[in-house]
Amino acid sequence: MADLGLPSWKDLPRVEGLPHGCAWGLFDKDGVRDEIGTLNLLTPETVVKARDEIQTGKSVVLNWPIDHVHEPGFGRIKPAINITDWRAKGSPWYSYDDEISLNTQSGSQWDGLRHWGHSGTGLYYNRIHHDEVLKTDRIGIDHWSKRGGIVGRGVLLDYVAYAARHNIQYDAMTRHRITLDVLKDIAKEQNVTFRPGDILLVRSGWIRWYNEHSAEERVAKVKNGSEYVGVDGSEEVVEWLWNNHFAAVGGDAIGFEAWPPQLPWCLHDYILALWGMPLGELWDLEALAKACETHKRWSFFITSSPLNTPGGIASPPNAIAIF
């Protein structure tokens, strides 16, 4: 599979003023600054090869219901769905509309490249400063739509099932770290081999915790909480993520990485700001995990069509896995 000749972690060129590991300029072409980062890895060849994952026709939706989380954290508004009965308003037609108000960070989401800037400099992907982002049309999530959405081969690493097999007890509402050694061990046990351009999903158990607990517990741990399970933020993990040349990463955790992040290895900094890689959070991977177990394989064809919002910051993923 083509990886566009990307350098390994140790060989990434130095970018003035940024830490080692910055990928700015690698995807620029013919003097035009890149807008989509690692989505460039989803070449036609990569997508055609991913088609081999479709063997049974079984499909699984990966979006959580839009009214979850019921009480979002970080001061975000909860989604609201309002229905208009046009017949009741005097229309001769029998018709309804619905209006949805939501913060795109309050449920299943892709973090777009305008969502997060590098913590040390305030620079977003491909050197756009925080104060300039909204003055341009650059790196908006609409650029993902212009390239044809996100389509390729998905791979699930199921930490919940791994923890059960190995008698690992943990609380998803603590800063429980899924380390690189564990990620590699899960891949080995699931017989997963990665390919450049894969879309990596990690099931941490955050969504399962939410589904199993009361409204009062959810408020205490989500709306008023501050620590959550996720992938370990470490140099080793950052190097591994880059060297596997994933097109995108995501999971069911509220922050993908163990939260809160700890500098200098904040995964949001590297994934979004320094690499231009879509970052998925709060995806519902429960049915996907069951389907993977049924099929005895943890790879699948995946499609995602984010909202075509000019200058958009984030979006529900509108994602489907197909076996």
Spatial distance between the Cα atoms of 27 and 39, rounded to a whole number of angstroms: 10
Nearest C-alpha neighbor of 139 from the set 150, 156, 127: 127
Where the chain has pLDDT below 70, the residues are 1-2
pLDDT, position 77: 87
Q: Report how far apart the first and last C-alpha atoms of the chain are (Å, whole number).
A: 20
CA dist 85 → 97, 193, 242, 297, 316 (Å): 7, 52, 51, 46, 26
pLDDT, position 176: 98
CA 155 to centroid of chain Cα atoms: 13
Strand 319-322: give its sheet, edge to edge: 59-61, 319-322, 299-304, 150-158, 199-203, 248-251, 279-281, 109-111, 314-315
Its pTM surpasses 0.75: yes
pLDDT, position 2: 59
pLDDT, position 97: 96
DSSP letter for each residue of 69-112: SSS-STTPPPPEEEEEETTTTT-SS--EEEEEE--TTSSSEEE-
Q: What interhelical angle do 235-243 and 180-189 show, nearest 10?
A: 40
Nearest C-alpha neighbor of 318 from the set 90, 124, 70, 144: 144
CA 209 to centroid of chain Cα atoms: 19
pLDDT per position as a tens digit, 4-24: 789 999 999 999 999 999 999
- Cβ–Cβ under 8 Å, residues 322 and 303: yes
Residue 99: exposure state from Cβ atoms within 10 A (0-12, 13-18, ≥19): exposed
Residues 6 or more apart in contact with residue 29 via CB below 8 angstroms: none
pLDDT, position 318: 97
pLDDT, position 270: 98
pLDDT, position 95: 97
9-75+104-322 in CATH: which number? 3.50.30.50
User: What are the structural domain ranges in the chain?
Assistant: 9-75+104-322
pLDDT, position 37: 98
